[in-house]
Amino acid sequence: GQNIDQPTEMTATEGAIVQINCTYQTSGFNGLFWYQQHAGEAPTFLSYNVLDGLEEKGRFSSFLSRSKGYSYLLLKELQMKDSASYLCAVTDSWGKFQFGAGTQVVVTP
């Protein structure tokens, strides 16, 4: 099975940096995804990590350490529109996804 833990909520000010941590336990790990979900909308894909290291995509970066079962999503230069829930999802060798409960990021002026 898979257990995924991420903080429930984080608050940061506009222009700041926020790091959302995700720890997981899984059998047959085959990649970790981060999604953004605004209230009442479907999730949108942000990033994918399967090898150790940092993946940078504009203001968003994602890091993975397979040996530690740990990932983080880094949001830089926060904007008000970044207020959303961020979901960590782990996929196994059968292609099955398991989502974390999500971290609600609140960006304040």
Partner 1 sequence: GAVVSQHPSWVICKSGTSVKIECRSLDFQATTMFWYRQFPKQSLMLMATSNEGSKATYEQGVEKDKFLINHASLTLSTLTVTSAHPEDSSFYICSAKTGPQGQPQHFGDGTRLSIL
Q: In whole angstroms, what is the distance from residue 88 CA to residue 22 CA?
A: 7
Q: Which one of 17-25, 52-60, 70-78, 99-107 is the stretch in contact with partner 1 (CB under 8 A)?
A: 99-107
Binding residues for partner 1 restricted to 19-38, rule: CB under 8 A: 30-31, 33, 35
**Min. distance of Cβ 24 from partner 1 in angstroms?**
13
Binding partner 1 by CB under 8 A: which of 27, 42, 81, 109? Answer: 42
Site string for partner 1, 48-67 (x = CB under 8 A): x-x-----------------
| Dihedral sign, Cα of residue 40, residue 64, residue 62, residue 82 | positive
Residues 20 and 10 sit within 8 Å (Cβ to Cβ)? yes
Q: In whole angstroms, what is the distance from residue 25 CA to residue 43 CA?
A: 22
CB of 95 or CB of 109, closer to partner 1 = 95
Binding partner 1 by CB under 8 A: which of 24, 43, 62, 107? Answer: 43
Task: For the sheet with 70-75, list strands across it.
Answer: 2-5, 18-26, 70-75, 60-65, 53-57
Q: In whole angstroms, what is the distance from residue 95 CA to residue 7 CA?
A: 25
Which chain residues interact with partner 1 by CB under 8 A?
30-31, 33, 35, 40-45, 48, 50, 87, 91, 93, 95-102
